[in-house]
């Protein structure tokens, strides 16, 4: 379980096209407001557009325990392909040709991406584990 706290994950913001790398422990610290009135609050609580984790490798073996935790059959079964993969047309491209298709996205209040269209035209699904997510259609 400790492995994930030291794993480097990618973070970005809707306000910039640049990314940053955090360990999960560092990101947790970044997201936790400092309640000590005598010290400067260096957390994201003052930022207009905080960084959010947007990592395409976290659930593909980079963080095995996290992958196991979010792979609950009750959660993913309604969206899974059958054994032949009839709903997964990207399987025909092979591992090297397949576009990115699995991401860990997490962030504090006010974080998120700008309005966009999925560049790969996939039919993605999202699972909100905690808090809420707002969509613009």
Separation between Cα atoms, residue 5 and residue 1, nearest integer Å: 8
Q: What is the pLDDT of residues 6-63, one digit of tens each?
A: 888 899 888 877 888 998 888 888 888 777 766 666 667 778 888 898 888 888 778 8
For the record, the structure tokens of 135 come out as 């969509």
Separation between Cα atoms, residue 116 and residue 134, nearest integer Å: 14
Rounded to 5°, angle at Cα 130 from 127 and 135:
55
The residues that bridge with 104 in the sheet, in sequence order, are 55
DSSP letter string, 36-48: -TTS---SGGG-S
How does DSSP classify residue 109? T
The answer to whether residue 82 scores a pLDDT higher than 60 is no
> In which element (H, E) is residue 53 found?
strand 52-55
Structural Rg of the chain based on CA atoms: 17
Least confident window among 14-23, 62-71, 73-82, 123-132? 73-82
pTM: 0.72
Of 82 and 99, the structure prediction assigns the larger pLDDT to 99
């Amino acid at each position: 379980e400790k492995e994930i706290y030291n794993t480097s994950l990618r973070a970005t913001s809707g306000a910039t096209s640049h990314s940053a790398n955090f360990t999960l422990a560092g990101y947790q610290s970044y997201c936790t407001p400092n309640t000590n009135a005598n010290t400067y609050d260096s957390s994201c609580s003052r930022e207009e557009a905080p960084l959010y984790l947007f990592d395409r490798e976290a659930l593909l073996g980079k963080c095995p325990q996290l992958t196991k935790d979010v792979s609950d059959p009750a959660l993913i079964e309604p969206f899974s392909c059958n054994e032949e993969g009839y709903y997964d047309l990207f399987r025909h491209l092979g591992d090297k040709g397949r576009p990115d298709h699995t991401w860990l996205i997490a962030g504090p209040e006010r974080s998120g991406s700008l309005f966009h269209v999925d560049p790969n035209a996939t039919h993605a699904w999202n699972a909100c584990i905690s808090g809420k997510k707002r969509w613009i259609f």
